[in-house]
Amino acid sequence: MTSAVDTQLRADLRGFRAVQRLAYECAESVAARLKPGVTEREAARMQRDWLRARGVRDWFHLPFAWFGDRTAFAGFRVPLQFFPTSRRLEPGMPFILDMAPVHQGFTADIGYSGCLGLNPVHDRLLSDLEAHRDLILREVRERRPLREIYQDVERLMRHQGHLNRHRAYPFGVIAHKVDRVAERRWSPTVFGFGTQSLKGLASDAVHGHRDGWSPLWSPYRFSDHPPQPGLWAVEPHLGFRGTGAKFEELLVVTDSRDPEQSAFWLDDDLPHVRRWTEERAAA
Partner 1 sequence: MTLQDARERWVRTGGVELCVTEAGDPARPTVVLVHGYPDSKEVWSEVTDRLRDTFHVVLYDVRGHGRSTAPTPLRGGFTLEKLTDDFLAVIDTVSPDKPVHVVGHDWGSVQSWEFVTVKRTEGRIASFTSMSGPSLDHFGHWIKKRMSRPTPRRTAQLLGQGAKSWYVYMLHTPVLPELAWRGPLGTQWPKILGRLEKVTPGDYPTGSLREDAAHGAWLYRDNVRARLSHPRPDAYAHAPVQLITPTGDSFLSPRLYDELDQWVPQLLRRQLAAKHWVPRTRPDQLASWISDFVTRHEDLGPGGTSATVDSATRPTARPGPHAEHFGGRLVLVTGAASGIGRATAFAFAEAGARVIAVDRDADGVARTADLARLVGAPEAWAETTDVSDEQAMEKLAEKVAAEYGVVDVLVNNAGIGLSGSFFTTTSEDWKKVLDVNLWGVIHGCRIFGRQMAERGQGGHIVNTASAAAYQPSKALPAYSTSKAAVLMLSECLRAELASQDIGVTAICPGFVNTNITSTARFTGVDETEQKRRQRRASRLYGMRNYPPEKVADAILRSIVRNQAVVPVTPEARGARFMSRFTPRALRAVARTEPPL
Residues contributing to the site for partner 1 (CB under 8 A): 91-92, 117-122, 124, 158-161, 163, 240-243
Q: Is the CB of 44 or the CB of 168 nearer to partner 1?
A: 168
Q: Report, in Å, the least distance between residue 18 CB and partner 1.
A: 36
Q: Report, in Å, the least distance between residue 124 CB and partner 1.
A: 6
Q: Is the CB of 121 or the CB of 137 nearer to partner 1?
A: 121
Q: Report, in Å, the least distance between residue 131 CB and partner 1.
A: 12
Q: Report, in Å, the least distance between residue 75 CB and partner 1.
A: 12
Q: Report, in Å, the least distance between residue 274 CB and partner 1.
A: 23
Q: List all residues 6 or more positions away from 9 whose beta carbon is below 8 Å from its beta carbon.
A: 254
Q: Is the CB of 79 or the CB of 161 nearer to partner 1?
A: 161
Q: Is the CB of 117 or the CB of 170 nearer to partner 1?
A: 117
Q: Is the CB of 68 or the CB of 208 nearer to partner 1?
A: 68
